Structure 1
Amino acid sequence: MDPTTSATKTGQVFDWAVLRRLLAYVRPYRRVFIGLIVLTVATAVLGTLRPFLIQRMVDVSIEQGDVRGLNTMFLLLLVLLVGHAGVSYLQTYYGGWLGQYIVRDIRTDLYRHLLGLKLSFFDRTPIGVLVTRNISDVETLSDVFSEGLAAMAGDILQLLFIMAFMFYIDWRLTLVSLSVIPPLLFSTYVFKEKVKASFQDVRTAVAKLNSFVQEHLTGMNVVQIFNNEEREFRKFEAINKEHTAANIRSVLYYSIYFPVAEVLGAIGVGLLVWYAAQGQIEGTISKGALVAFIMYNALFFRPIRQIADRFNTLQLGLVSTERLLKLLDNRELVATTGTYAPAELRGDVEFKHVKFAYNEPEWVLKDISFHVQPGQTIAFVGATGAGKTSIINLLSRFYDIQEGSICIDGRDLREYDLSLLRRQIGIVLQDVFLFAGSIRDNITLGNKTITDDQIWAAADLVGARRFIERLPGALNYPVMERGATLSVGQRQLISFVRAMVYQPRVIVLDEATSSVDSETEELIQSAIEKLMQGRTSLVIAHRLSTIQKANKIIVLDRGEIKETGTHDELLRIENGYYAQLYRMQYVTGEPSASDEKPLPIAQEQLPEAS
């Protein structure tokens, strides 16, 4: 099951545990919350006084011809209306204010939590689902406070006050008015359950829509390259129809319930007038009581109709809260308990009998051991899925190993302060990701301590200054999402600058020049050599020309080390993995018999998780 989804507890009116945790976010704003409760009570009281005053005006002032008393009651009624309007304004404003601030806090906590989750969580969770949780589901919570809890409490209080006034004025008319309540409550309960189910379907459909749209917009070039627009459109159309059908079901329930409630309300008024008219003729019911009850009847049925809607708003908010809390309770966090933070790393890297799997027991790395001394360069060669990128992921603690140990400068990786560790390891990946923003923003990633002089120094080192200066605005040039307006080579050069500006002690190059043209590759090869001087370097490359000067080359196959040595040492191994790969890349002419033999490292393998 997706860790961000949860089964809904339809058998419960509320999940009180979820409600209590949601109310914990109210604690910083308890004064506003208490004030909102006071305003809710005041609104309920003021809203029910008006019919009572009108009853007094009719039965006392008008019937007795008391003009002065009538004027006094009229002014009192005006004050009451103005006061009710003012209190209603404050209740609406502070209910919305409280909801928005709580939404802000929850969204902040949620995003901070997402930043700390392991990459394995994101490997199996659709990004669109997380977007739905962080945007739509969180936004739903604001309605819990503005249209849910406070408003529903106000409606219930108003009903209680109305019934108290009605019984005070005439208990017989009250019983007649309440005679239609049982069928109204039954229809309200059915409506609540149906709409709740449809709302849950809507939320599920929204998550599917977000996931589909996000994924396919990101991969639009693949869709168009393979002329798949029509098929993908049909998939989207099916999901969109599912979303529409869920919304239509909720519209259907609303369209049935509200007319039924209106009819029942009208029947109640009819019964009231019929019975009160008889009492008026017989002289047992006053005119003022009849007028007041007609007004109370309208006031009474309005909150009953609204309570069903507000109840569903509250339940929908609690369903969203439950999903968010499950995400916040996810403990797949990167362990950050390490506190060791030396001023600088020496760059001694050692893997000792490391075993690792993204999904046990499918081992990606099997008993991997190697040692890189400070300042040395080690290169990894192997087919896709051999485990090369996994080694880099483990070194940066994007994932944690199951067995063995990884040490830097003789200390276990997990003992280091994570921020220092990653700051001291500069990584240049094959697939470069750039954010929407300026060139400067993509290099510094918001670090205000990095100056333009440091950026230009790093750009000079990797040969990127020339192309950056030619861009309109240079460092201020706006980069579109994913760097769409830059070439692959330019994006790669920016990633070099981004890695170098932090002056790391360990350099990791994951196919760093595979997407660069020959001219650009020559430009940065000399920069890479300068870059590696005095630094520990781990290099992954398909082009063997980039690793021939490495101190050690490790050949990987299916997560195991097959060969280790320098370039010359590996070439001397007859029919060795590395020697065969080298001949495939650099020997021209007709292949020899040995060349025709399939390479073990070129055999088809499962793609390596990343």
Structure 2
Amino acid sequence: MYNFGYSEEGRVGSLRDLHIWLRIFRYGSGHRLGLVLAVLLSLVVTGATLGLPHLMQMGIDGFIMNTHLPAVQRIAGLGRIAVVYGILVGLVFLAGFFQVVVLETIGQWIMHAMRRDLYAHMLDLDLAFFNNQAVGRLVTRLTNDIQNMHEMFTSVMVTLFNDFLRLAGILVILFLMNVRLALVMSVFVPLAALITVVFSRLARERFRAIRRQLSRLNSFLQEAISGISVLQLFGRQRDSFRKFDVLTREYQDLTLRQIKLFGTFMPMSEIMSSAAIALILWYGGGEIIRRELSLGELVAFLSYMRLFFQPLRELYQKYSIV
């Protein structure tokens, strides 16, 4: 690969680096009320979402399958269940909407403060620093990297809490509903977690490689455009284009590798989820035949399982941002 005369990226921080997290949380400390509100809204979304499968169970076992009640009473009961179900869905929508608004507002203020601090810091640096740094690389720090920090605040920090809370809540509910089915389902949990962790680490490495390549590309473009008169004067346009083509092809290759990784993980996650559901359907169906499980319980259990595997897929996408 061409070397255009600027240094490589610095040391990559670890997620276990307390100093980095303390510096990040400093920007969020001025928005405590907003962050608390976002967490509370996450609790509302999680609680309402976890209540939906239980309502399905109540409707199936309490009214659809309950032949001891008159038809009019069963239909009326289903109507009440449907109303409560609609209220919970509306609550999920409203709480999710306000959560996004709060997080995006906080994220914009934090991004603004970070850009101000970073630019003020750059203005105080010695000229020797700028002699060893490409301008495009510094511009990338002020734009793309700050945008990634905004994404981490709005999409990762609070929603990761929401995802872990949902996973824990679903596991507790599943074991309370039916220990045998929960134990059968738990066979897939370590494997699903392992796949998520491995693919997340690979995605994080490739995402950072993409960011580094974008920094090189921006640096080259800035230097080429600012010195276009010199390039034309010495007839170096074709050579400059070849170098640009190399950089863009490398950026394309890195991006395609990330896409292929994502394209591999998602089908594997779906296969894992489908296999777990098929096993529960077979085992739970046998328990229904033996009258050890109700149809409503099985439907609710399968619904909770779908909700369980969804955060695992989201964790893969969010971890690569950090």
Greater relative contact order (Cα < 8 A, sep 6+): 2
Match of residue 99 from structure 1: 107
Q: What does the per-residue CA deviation read over 1:141-172, in whole Å, with 9 as the maximum and x for residues that have no partner? A: 11102211111111111111111221121111
Where do 1:383-532 residues align within 5 Å? none
Is the CA contact 1:166–1:293 (under 8 Å) kept in the aligned structure 2? yes
Distance 2:16 2:44 in 1: 26
Is the CA contact 2:137–2:219 (under 8 Å) kept in the aligned structure 1? yes
Q: Does 2:221 match 1:219? A: no
Q: What does the per-residue CA deviation read over 1:54-108, in whole Å, with 9 as the maximum and x for residues that have no partner? A: 1111112223334233222221111111111111111122122211110011001
Match of residue 29 from structure 2: 27
Match of residue 141 from structure 1: 149
- Letter of the 2:217 partner, please give it: L
SS state of the match for residue 12, structure 2? coil
- Letter of the 2:105 partner, please give it: W
Is the CA contact 1:212–1:236 (under 8 Å) kept in the aligned structure 2? yes
Higher strand share: 1
Match of residue 262 from structure 1: 270
Q: What does the per-residue CA deviation read over 1:497-532, in whole Å, with 9 as the maximum and x for residues that have no partner? A: xxxxxxxxxxxxxxxxxxxxxxxxxxxxxxxxxxxx
- Letter of the 2:28 partner, please give it: V
Q: Bigger radius of gyration, 1 or 2?
A: 1
Where do 1:35-434 residues align within 5 Å? 35-64=37-66, 65=69, 66-67=73-74, 68-313=76-321, 315=322
Match of residue 7 from structure 1: 11
RMSD: 1.7
Q: Tell me how far 1:2 sits from its aligned partner.
A: 7.2
Distance 2:79 2:166 in 1: 27
Distance 1:216 1:6 in 2: 24
Q: Tell me how far 1:188 sits from its aligned partner.
A: 1.0
Normalization by structure 1: what TM-score? 0.50
Distance 2:176 2:100 in 1: 30
The runs of 5 or more residues in structure 1 that have no matched partner are 316-610
Match of residue 19 from structure 2: 17
Number of aligned residue pairs: 312
- Letter of the 2:164 partner, please give it: I
Q: What does the per-residue CA deviation read over 1:114-163, in whole Å, with 9 as the maximum and x for residues that have no partner? A: 22222222222211111011111111111102211111111111111111
Distance 1:89 1:176 in 2: 36
Higher helix share: 2
Q: What does the per-residue CA deviation read over 1:371-391, in whole Å, with 9 as the maximum and x for residues that have no partner? A: xxxxxxxxxxxxxxxxxxxxx
Distance 1:174 1:85 in 2: 29
The runs of 5 or more residues in structure 2 that have no matched partner are none
- Letter of the 1:56 partner, please give it: M
Q: Tell me how far 1:42 sits from its aligned partner.
A: 1.5
Is the CA contact 1:152–1:311 (under 8 Å) kept in the aligned structure 2? no
Is the CA contact 1:191–1:253 (under 8 Å) kept in the aligned structure 2? yes
Distance 2:167 2:194 in 1: 17
Is the CA contact 1:52–1:165 (under 8 Å) kept in the aligned structure 2? no
Identity %: 27
Distance 1:311 1:96 in 2: 19
Is the CA contact 1:4–1:129 (under 8 Å) kept in the aligned structure 2? no
Normalization by structure 2: what TM-score? 0.93
Distance 1:146 1:2 in 2: 32
